[in-house]
Amino acid sequence: MKKVEHIGIAVKNFSEANGLYYKLLGAEPYKTEYVDSEGVNTSFFKVGDTKIELLEATNPDSAIAKFIEKRGEGIHHIAFEVEDIIAEMERLKQEGFTLLNEQPKNGADNKLVCFVHPKSAHGVLVELTQEIK
Ligand code: ZN
């Protein structure tokens, strides 16, 4: 794994949260994107070499809606950048981690992503992310 690529934060109100993080970080999101497959609106703020991703559910079946219902707003996942997502997925499977998807999916921000079940990572939802070149 190369670095923490971003930290994902689940929010209830996208525009309010974007305004607050603008104030907190002193910079506007460099990108906002709707991800149909996940039912979320996302925005990305650069913080040095890493990013903050805000996630708002766009429908009640979205994983973000369910997360907020259960645990409230807050840190939702940590994303690690990897060089070769297929190889990392294979390695983690060998190590006994439970992956939430068998194949990499298209995520926000031009990335291939795969999630590791929080139960196999001490309660933390881990995202592997590889840039699509
Ligand atoms: Zn993410």
CA 114 / ligand 1 centre spacing (Å): 10
Q: Which two tokens stand for residue 106?
A: 């298209």
CA 79 / ligand 1 centre spacing (Å): 6
Q: What is the pLDDT of residue 108?
A: 83
The predicted-structure confidence for 4-49, as pLDDT tens digits, reads as follows 999 999 999 999 999 999 999 999 999 999 988 889 999 999 999 9
Residues less than 5 Å from ion ligand 1, measured at CB: 8, 53, 79, 127
CA 77 / ligand 1 centre spacing (Å): 7
Confidence of residue 133 (pLDDT cuts 50, 70, 90): confident
Q: How far apart are CA 37 and CA 39, in angstroms?
A: 6
CA 96 / ligand 1 centre spacing (Å): 22
Secondary structure of residue 130 in the 3-state scheme: strand
Q: How far apart are CA 84 and CA 25, in angstroms?
A: 31
Number of domains in the chain: 1
Indicate which CATH number applies to the domain containing 105.
3.10.180.10
What is the domain range of residue 110?
Answer: 3-131
- Contact at 8 Å (CB) between 105 and 36? no
The predicted-structure confidence for 41-81, as pLDDT tens digits, reads as follows 999 999 999 999 999 999 999 999 999 999 999 999 999 99
